[in-house]
Amino acid sequence: MRQRVLPALISVLLLGMALASAQQRDARDMLTRIRMEGLQRSGALALYRTLTDEIGARLTGSPAHMQAARWAVDRFREWSLANPHLEPFEFGRGWQLERVSAEMTEPRYMPLIAYADAWSPSTAGAVTGRAVYVGDKTAAQIQAMAGQLRGAIVLTHLPQAEFVAGDRPQPGLDERPVATGNPALAQARSTVPATELMMLLKQAGAAVALRPSPYRDGTVGVTGNRATLSDAVPSIVVSGEQYNILARLAAQGRPVSLRVELRTRYFEEDRNSYNVIAEIPGQDPALRDQVVLVGAHIDSWHTASGATDNADGVVAVMEAMRILRALGAQPRRTIRVALWSGEEQGLLGARAYVAQHFDTPAARDQLAVYLNDDPGSGKTLGFYMEENRAAKTIFDRWLEPLKDLGATRNVIEGIGATDHVPFNQAGLPGFNVIKDFDAYDERTRHTNADHPERMSDDELKQSAIFMATFAWQAAMDDETIPRMVAK
Ligand SMILES: [Zn+2]
């Protein structure tokens, strides 16, 4: 009996090995084809130019964000992805910067590099007059100055002594420590805490508040609070070095006259914002309900082009989808793309998506993996593995075919502070790429210097090929990524 079964067994095994190697060959072929499409017919640079040069800053709730989201839906439709659409979540009112100008007119003329906090109200036209410095005053002293503060341009903070210097370490190239979460950066400082200070200025009827940017060399870092009231004191951030000139002169009692005009607009009609979703449906009857999700946030802050934060990530995942669709990819699992909104206000789009789509154990079982492309710029080097050792073994295997394109290593630590976090919090496997922090923390992130020169055409292509290669392998692999333990 053994003699008759053995040859049959051997031939079944041989057939299996032949099939397996044919499958492996097909898989390898596909990786080669992804690379050829991504290098020779890349659409990455054109996508990047549209997002950064033509649309520019894409603040959540602003018309520019909607323009970008609709543009992305149109691209997905043009590439024949399945079901391209916008998915709403409640956000609140939108805001747009329409005009800001700030100038010193006495003791000499000096135009100021200045931007409004997002959601700041407008000034009442152009405001001119002597600057009043309160950076070193106590709350009681500020209250006593009420007469002087009515209708005034107020310098609210101390001269900026400490500036943002340097980037967090980037762990993709060597064994440097991994910094989880955003790095602690220098901040503007005032004697009275900022919220209390702004209330005191409002009570006094101040016209506009100016404070310094903690970034160097004319770089202005600005975000904003969407809960800002329409009758708050308008608030503007001035480059640190220029603010220091104003504050030092005013603190010495030297006359400093300014002219400041800020015009902003709120949008109340639609209190939703929108994620952009599209997909390539899976083909394997046993696996097609499983989803490999790739994503990046398309919203940005409002003072520059949102280039490193996060047009480069958006381009990587959009172009990855274009590549796969252009090759007629027939993945076993569904490959879905998400362009999140509201990341900058607290990962709101990704949080809403997880709440809307992964609210039951059965639904959560369908997410194979989430791959996010956000902090940093330059080439993609690997992934932060969020302490998921079993997943790292699989990701290390998927990284191998990308090593000659500049991929280096996955690190076991997490990164935090971007759109994979809501997935992790729901116990789902979500990971973010490792990219360079080449002046990202020091210069571009959330500043008026976030412009497209930080990414080259080659880096955009590489990042897209990287994401397409990972998405494809995740959609085809026999193994599934082990679940995270809910944090
Ligand atoms: Zn950001």
Q: How confident is the model at residue 183 (pLDDT cuts 50, 70, 90)?
A: confident
**Confidence at residue 17, expressed as pLDDT on a 0 to 100 scale:** 63
Q: How confident is the model at residue 389 (pLDDT cuts 50, 70, 90)?
A: very high
User: Model's pTM, two decimal places?
Assistant: 0.94
Q: Work out the angle at residue 475's Cα, subtended by the Cα atoms of residues 473 and 478, and round it to the nearest 5 degrees.
A: 80
CA of 209 from ligand 1 middle (Å) equals 24
CA of 6 from ligand 1 middle (Å) equals 62
- A 10 A CB-CB count for 217 gives 11
- Residue 248 belongs to what H/E stretch? helix 240-251
At 391, phi and psi to the nearest 5? -65, -35
Contact 225, 89 (CB under 8 A): no
CA of 55 from ligand 1 middle (Å) equals 17
CA of 117 from ligand 1 middle (Å) equals 15
Q: How confident is the model at residue 180 (pLDDT cuts 50, 70, 90)?
A: confident
CA of 100 from ligand 1 middle (Å) equals 22
How distant is the alpha carbon of residue 465 from its chain centre?
Answer: 20
For 319, residues 6+ apart whose C-beta sits below 8 A from its C-beta are 38, 42, 43, 44, 47, 460, 461, 464, 467, 468
**Confidence at residue 402, expressed as pLDDT on a 0 to 100 scale:** 98
Contact 421, 375 (CB under 8 A): no
CA of 300 from ligand 1 middle (Å) equals 7
Chain segment 108-145, per-residue pLDDT in tens = 999 999 999 999 999 999 999 999 999 999 999 999 99
Q: Which residues pair with 334 in a beta bridge?
A: 291
Q: How confident is the model at residue 487 (pLDDT cuts 50, 70, 90)?
A: very low
CA of 59 from ligand 1 middle (Å) equals 11
CA of 309 from ligand 1 middle (Å) equals 5
CA of 429 from ligand 1 middle (Å) equals 22
- Residue 258 belongs to what H/E stretch? strand 257-267
| Closest C-alpha to 433, from 301, 320, 299 | 320
- A 10 A CB-CB count for 15 gives 10
DSSP assignment string, 334-387: EEEEEEES-GGGTSHHHHHHHHHH--SHHHHHTEEEEEE--S-EEEEEEEE-TT
CA of 347 from ligand 1 middle (Å) equals 10
d(CA 335, CA 475): 7
- Could you tell me the strand order of the sheet in which 377-384 lies? 82-90, 272-280, 334-340, 291-297, 367-372, 430-436, 377-384
Is the predicted pLDDT of residue 27 greater than 80, yes or no? no
CA of 465 from ligand 1 middle (Å) equals 23
| Closest C-alpha to 275, from 90, 112, 128, 52 | 90
**Confidence at residue 16, expressed as pLDDT on a 0 to 100 scale:** 60
| Closest C-alpha to 309, from 216, 446, 215, 179 | 446
Mean pLDDT of 422-430: 97
b/e map 385-396, b = 16+ CB within 10 Å: bbebeebbebbe
CA of 134 from ligand 1 middle (Å) equals 31
Query: What residues have their beta carbon closer than 5 A to ion ligand 1?
Result: 309
CA of 56 from ligand 1 middle (Å) equals 15
DSSP assignment string, 140-172: HHHHHTHHHHTT-EEE-S----S--------TT
Write the Ramachandran bin of 327: left for phi over 0, alpha for psi from -120 to 50, otherwise beta: alpha
CA of 89 from ligand 1 middle (Å) equals 19
CA of 285 from ligand 1 middle (Å) equals 39
**Confidence at residue 1, expressed as pLDDT on a 0 to 100 scale:** 44
CA of 292 from ligand 1 middle (Å) equals 24
d(CA 423, CA 358): 9
Chain segment 279-329, per-residue pLDDT in tens = 999 999 999 999 999 999 999 999 999 999 999 999 999 999 999 999 999
Token pair of 88 as six digits: 């709403």
Q: Strand, helix or coil at 41? A: coil
> What share of the chain has pLDDT > 90, as a percent?
90
Q: How confident is the model at residue 12 (pLDDT cuts 50, 70, 90)?
A: low
CA of 204 from ligand 1 middle (Å) equals 34
